[in-house]
Amino acid sequence: MRSLETKLPAPLLAAFVGASMKFYATAWGIVIDPTPWRMQVGVGIAVISGLLALVATATLWRARTTLNPYQPARAASLVTGGVFRLSRNPLYLSLLLLLVAYAIRLDSPAVWLAPVLFLAYVTRFQIRPEERALEAKFGQAYQQYRMRTRRWL
């Protein structure tokens, strides 16, 4: 299974998962629920997702380290500040939140399987290989970071 590690970009995977949710909803006649609370919660989570992605990207850029998830060993520095204090993976978290926002808007229990599968796949095939590479590169500093900061939230 290592052949799948760090091969599929998480944004592309999230787009595929979102499209699958849309396909399922269309095939089964499920529409976006127009109730105000679902709209407000869904849009609110989507906005948080976007802000989280922007802040995490800016933080990595300011640290002059790689955003490339295919080669985590190329990280120039271990970023532990800002949103990286709340989550070791704020960019993946932002994608998960976007899928959760869409699931909230679609009033169907079955669509909740999609964000769960995204979480499982990204954890196994993207995050864990990145963690191995970061631990190999940054050693004790990364181990301490892992102990004080959760993987997702």
Distance CA 142, CA 80 (A): 9
Is 93 inside a domain boundary?
Answer: yes
Any alpha helices (H) in 89-148, and if so which ranges? 90-105, 113-122, 128-148
pLDDT in tens, 29-63: 998 888 999 999 999 999 999 999 999 999 999 99
Whether 118 is covered by a domain: the verdict is: yes
Is residue 48 in a domain?
yes
Express each pLDDT in 108-145 by its tens digit.
999 999 999 999 999 999 999 999 999 999 999 999 99
Radius of gyration of the chain (CA): 17
Q: Note whether 92 and 122 are within 8 A (CB).
A: yes
Six-digit token pair at 39? Answer: 């709209």
pLDDT in tens, 67-87: 888 788 889 999 999 999 999
Q: List, in sequence order, every residue forming a beta bridge with 106; answer none if it has no partner.
A: 32
pLDDT on residue 33: 86
pLDDT at residue 6 is higher than 90: no
| 72 part of a folded domain | no
144 inside domain: yes
Which pLDDT value is given to residue 130? 93
Predicted pLDDT of residue 2: 74
pTM as predicted: 0.95
Report the pLDDT value the prediction gives residue 77, as an integer from 0 to 100: 94
Domain assignment of residue 52, given as a range: 11-26+34-66+78-148
4 lies in a domain? Answer: no
**Tokens 């631990």 identify what position?**
135
Task: Count how many residues are written for the chain.
Answer: 153
CA distance linking residue 104 with residue 24, whole number of Å: 15
Q: Is residue 6 part of a domain?
A: no
Total domains present in the chain: 1
How high is the pLDDT of residue 34? 86
Mean pLDDT for 141-153 is 97
Domain annotation covers residue 120? yes
Mean pLDDT across 6-14:
91
